[in-house]
């Protein structure tokens, strides 16, 4: 079913919206949750919560890109779940690596000095807009979808070393950019 | 909140355009194979076969000649013609329009190239990630079970790291009626490729993808005839062939719609 029609079902408060969403985006959202949580049960729970959150968000919102809208809900729910479960230690899967990589990018454990999230998001969007497409796709796959290096290399049909070097260079540039913007 | 957490949360709110771009972008390699005259056997056409081939328990008999020729081929120099990123076109996922052609014959070609420098084996899920499109049905027809690939699905690479042969078949069998569903995908024209021998076939439109679908009747155990269906389409640079026997038209359509939704 087309995204527009699925959104219409939400707006009409027709519960088949959830069935259609699950059929079309269940695997997409499931992959994001599994990347973050590395646990089938927790992932399933986050996916079910995603459909509920989408149901409660519409018709207040009408997403322009349904996949990104649903994926963002799953990502947020999964990250919250991950933080609850791994407040003491990082657990398995790709997340410990991602934390380490971003720690190297933005520095220490200390909180930032009164940076509004909106400012940071706007700066990230400007940074992404200035990147070439190849590096941007690799960066978003890693830090939005939380894909592992192997999966990114497979999807883009490039070597794993190319993915790693691209991410390394991008993190370095991002750090410089955020410092210039006085967001670090 | 720590800086890393803040950055992770802020990344979650980036422009959805970049999220969609990262999901849809695939690196598509277009390759040209130069095959020396001495090795011009690279393409074997086993013309006009399916309609007359005997099916044994729903499984197609392979051509010994083709397999022997494939194994005997010498190395061929390969040149990469170009490589470019392709963003999957924004599809106008309209209504499904079916045109199922009645066909007499199918044909199989076997294309072989140089010996690969290395071969990687992937699971079915990794293979789906590799192709970047759906090749695994969300729901299997009743009675069908996946046939496990012992080593996994093979993708061969050349010396330069470029893909040489990624023609892989996912097979599902129905133990009760001998039915068989086979989903093949490839981004380069290598290996065994099934196509229609008939020309001028009408195409179907399934959620924005143009698909050629054919129905054929084939002999089973030399007596009663069985129905077979073949669908061929190209999506995001991946050529896909779906073939089913021991399966009715409605179920075959449902598999295709599931793959292309």
Q: Among A29-43, B27-41, B66-80, B198-212, which stretch is predicted with the lowest mean pLDDT?
A: B66-80
B175: contact with A, CB 8 A cutoff: no
Cβ contact, residue pair B14, A67, below 8 Å: no
Rounded Cα–Cα distance for residues B172 and B180 (Å): 6
Cβ contact, residue pair A117, B10, below 8 Å: yes
Q: What is the pLDDT of residue B223?
A: 54
The complex's ipTM works out to 0.87
Most confident option among A135-149, B60-74, B176-190: A135-149
Pick B102 or B45 by higher pLDDT. Answer: B102
Average pLDDT over residues B144-160: 85
Cβ contact, residue pair B20, A144, below 8 Å: no
Q: Are A70 and A54 in contact (CB under 8 A)?
A: yes
Average pLDDT, chain B: 74
DSSP output for chain B: -BHHHHHHHHHTTS-HHHHHHHHHEEEEEEEEE---GGGGGGEEEE-S-GGGPPEETTEEPPPHHHHHHHHHPPP--EEEEEEEEEEPP-------B--EEE-S-EEEEEE--SPPSEEEEE-HHHHHHHHTS--S-SSPPTTEEEPPPSS-EEEEE-TTS-EEE--EEEEEEETTTTEEEEEEEESSS-EEEEEES--S---EEETTEEEEEEEEEEEBTTSSEEEEEEEEEEETTEEEEEEEES--HHHHHHHHHHHH-
Q: What is the pLDDT of residue B139?
A: 78
Q: pTM of this prediction?
A: 0.56
Model confidence at B71: pLDDT above 90? no
Average pLDDT over residues B6-29: 85
Q: Could you tell me the pLDDT band of residue B38, with boundaries at 50, 70 and 90? A: very low
Residue B258 distance to chain A (closest CA, Å): 9
Residue B42 distance to chain A (closest CA, Å): 25
Interface mutation target, options B2, B22, B208, chain A, most CBs of A under 10 Å: B22
Q: Among A36-45, B2-11, B84-93, which stretch is predicted with the lowest mean pLDDT?
A: B84-93
Per-residue pLDDT tens over the stretch B201-246: 999 998 889 999 999 887 555 555 678 999 999 988 899 999 998 8
A87: contact with B, CB 8 A cutoff: no
Q: What is the pLDDT of residue B57?
A: 36
Q: What is the pLDDT of residue B107?
A: 83
Q: What is the pLDDT of residue B26?
A: 67
User: Which positions 13-52 of A are in contact with B (Cβ < 8 Å)?
Assistant: 23-24, 26-28
Average pLDDT over residues A147-158: 86
CA torsion angle for A51, A54, A59, A63 (degrees, to 10)? -130
Q: What is the pLDDT of residue B215?
A: 92
Q: Could you tell me the pLDDT band of residue A71, with boundaries at 50, 70 and 90? A: very high
Nearest CA in chain B to A151: B129
Nearest CA to B61 out of B208, B207, B192, B197 is that of: B192
Pick A180 or B108 by higher pLDDT. Answer: A180
Chain A residues touching B5 at Cβ < 8 A: 83
Q: What is the pLDDT of residue A106?
A: 81
Average pLDDT over residues A3-15: 91
Per-residue pLDDT tens over the stretch A104-139: 888 755 655 567 888 999 999 999 999 999 899 999
Q: Among A154-163, B75-84, B151-160, B165-174, which stretch is predicted with the lowest mean pLDDT?
A: B75-84
Q: Among A33-37, B36-40, B151-155, which stretch is predicted with the lowest mean pLDDT?
A: B36-40
Q: What is the pLDDT of residue A112?
A: 57
Most confident option among A23-32, A136-145, A161-170, B189-198: A136-145
A83: contact with B, CB 8 A cutoff: yes
Pick B141 or A143 by higher pLDDT. Answer: A143
Per-residue pLDDT tens over the stretch B191-202: 888 889 888 899
Q: What is the pLDDT of residue B224?
A: 59
Chain B residues touching A24 at Cβ < 8 A: 261
What percentage of chain B carries pLDDT values higher than 90? Answer: 23
Chain A residues touching B122 at Cβ < 8 A: 154
Pick B152 or B112 by higher pLDDT. Answer: B152
Pick B178 or B252 by higher pLDDT. Answer: B252
Q: Are B232 and B241 in contact (CB under 8 A)?
A: yes
Rounded Cα–Cα distance for residues B212 and B135 (Å): 17
Cβ contact, residue pair B14, A128, below 8 Å: yes
Q: What is the pLDDT of residue A17?
A: 92
Pick B31 or A78 by higher pLDDT. Answer: A78
Q: What is the pLDDT of residue B27?
A: 61
Model confidence at B82: pLDDT above 60? no
């Amino acid at each position: 079913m087309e995204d527009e029609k699925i959104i219409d079902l939400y707006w009409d408060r027709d519960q088949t919206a959830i069935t259609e969403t699950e059929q079309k985006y269940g695997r997409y959202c499931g992959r994001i949750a599994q990347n973050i949580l590395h646990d089938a049960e927790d992932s399933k729970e986050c996916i079910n919560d995603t459909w509920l959150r989408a149901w409660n968000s519409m018709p207040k919102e009408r997403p322009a890109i349904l996949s990104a809208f649903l994926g963002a809900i799953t990502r947020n729910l999964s990250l919250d779940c991950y933080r609850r479960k791994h407040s003491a230690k990082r657990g398995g899967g790709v997340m410990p690596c991602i934390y380490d990589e971003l720690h190297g990018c933005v520095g220490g454990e200390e909180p930032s000095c009164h940076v509004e999230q909106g400012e940071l998001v706007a700066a990230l969007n400007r940074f992404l807009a200035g990147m070439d497409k190849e590096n941007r796709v690799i960066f978003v796959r890693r830090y939005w979808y939380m894909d592992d290096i192997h999966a990114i290399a497979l999807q883009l049909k490039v070597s794993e070393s190319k993915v790693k070097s691209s991410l390394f260079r991008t993190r370095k540039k991002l750090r410089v950019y955020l410092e210039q913007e006085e967001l670090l | 909140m720590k800086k890393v957490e803040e950055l992770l949360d802020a990344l979650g709110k980036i422009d959805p355009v970049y999220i969609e771009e990262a999901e849809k972008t695939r690196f598509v390699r277009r390759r040209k194979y130069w095959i020396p005259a001495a090795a011009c056997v690279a393409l074997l056409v086993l013309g006009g076969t399916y309609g007359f081939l005997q099916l044994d328990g729903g499984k197609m008999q392979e051509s010994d000649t083709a397999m022997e020729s494939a194994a005997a081929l010498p190395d061929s120099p390969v040149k990469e013609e170009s490589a470019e990123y392709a963003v999957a076109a924004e599809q106008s996922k309209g209504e499904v329009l079916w045109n199922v052609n009645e066909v007499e014959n199918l044909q199989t070609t076997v294309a072989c190239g140089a010996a690969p420098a290395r071969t990687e084996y992937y699971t079915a899920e990794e293979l789906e990630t590799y192709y970047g499109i759906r090749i695994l049905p969300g729901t299997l027809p009743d009675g069908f079970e996946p046939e496990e690939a012992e080593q996994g699905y093979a993708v061969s690479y050349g010396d330069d790291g470029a893909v040489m042969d990624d023609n892989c078949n996912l097979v599902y069998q129905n133990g009760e009626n001998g039915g068989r569903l086979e989903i093949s995908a490839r981004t380069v024209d290598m290996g065994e490729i099934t196509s229609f021998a008939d020309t001028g076939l009408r195409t179907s439109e399934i959620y924005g993808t143009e698909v050629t679908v054919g129905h054929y009747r084939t002999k089973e155990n030399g007596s009663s005839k069985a129905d077979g269906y073949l669908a061929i389409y190209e999506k995001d640079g991946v050529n896909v062939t779906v073939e089913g026997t021991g399966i009715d038209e409605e179920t075959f359509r449902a598999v295709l719609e599931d793959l292309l939704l």
